[in-house]
Amino acid sequence: GYIPSEIGNLINLTTLEIGHNQLSGEIPPEIEGLVSLEILFLGNNQLSGYIPSEIGNLINLTHISLHDNQLTGGIPSGVTNLTNLISLYISNNQFTEEIPSDIENLSNLEVLYLNDNQLSGEITFDFNQLQNLNNLNLWNNNLSGLFPDDICELSLDEFHITNNNFCPPYPECLTEQQIGDQDTSEC
Q: In this predicted model, what pLDDT tens digit does every residue of 114-171 receive, in sequence order?
A: 999 999 999 999 999 999 999 999 999 999 999 999 999 999 999 999 999 999 999 9
Q: Which DSSP state fits 26?
A: P
Q: What is the pLDDT of residues 69-123, one digit of tens each?
A: 999 999 998 999 999 999 999 999 999 999 999 999 999 999 999 999 999 999 9
pTM, rounded to two decimals:
0.95
Residue 34 CB contacts under 8 Å (≥ 6 apart), including other chains: 7, 8, 10, 11, 13, 16, 40, 58
